[in-house]
Amino acid sequence: LSSDPVKGTFKSPLFYTFKLFSANCTGRSVDTYVDCDTFNTAQYKGIPYLDVTTVYSAENKTIFINVINRHQDKAITANIVSHAGKFSGNAEASVINSNDLKGAFTFDKQGQYHPTMQNIRMANNQLTYSFPPHSFTQIKVTVAGN
């Protein structure tokens, strides 16, 4: 939680990101291949703009694909393809984002920090999604079979 000395505590985007991870990312880690543009810093070279982890819950037959788009200005569209399990139904994306990268989290803006939900259509065991700039997205997909 974040805190305002006068108005009290509130849930920031960091709270909601942690909540999505802690509530949904239990199970087995899935080896995830990512091919996207990269950037360099003074210390590191070839850092991918998309940082991706995937977790499979056998109990719920669900995968959660977690994506951070590190690009400050550009949405990045990606094709997500399963080579191990068959996607079924529709996918659901929870997106946490802000228009201001340098703005402080404030009590008065707390209503803007909730994840937005989007349904994603799938076809032929794949989906395509455009990840907003400087965002965190968690995509929930049901998998048929094992």
Question: Which comes out higher in pLDDT, residue 100 or 92?
Answer: 92
Which residue, among 2, 22, 17, 16, has the nearest Cα to 103 in the 3D structure?
2
Q: Is 61 exposed, middle or buried (0-12, 13-18, 19+ CB in 10 A)?
A: middle
pLDDT at res. 146: 52
Q: How far apart are CA 133 and CA 145, in angstroms?
A: 34
Residue 85 scores a pLDDT above 80 = no
Q: pTM of the full predicted structure?
A: 0.91
Q: Can you say whether residue 41 is alpha, beta or left, with left for phi > 0 and alpha for psi between -120 and 50 degrees?
A: beta
DSSP code of residue 134: T
Is the pLDDT at 33 greater than 60? The verdict is: yes
Taking alpha carbons only, the member of 90, 79, 83 closest to residue 34 is: 79
Task: State mean pLDDT over 81-86.
Answer: 83
Among 116, 101, 137, residue whose Cα is nearest residue 24:
137
The pLDDT confidence band at residue 86, using thresholds 50, 70 and 90, is: confident
Question: Rounded to an integer, what distance in angstroms lies between the CA atom of residue 103 and that of residue 24?
Answer: 28
CA distances from 50 to 7, 42, 67, 96 (A): 36, 19, 6, 15
Q: Residue 69 above 90 pLDDT?
A: yes
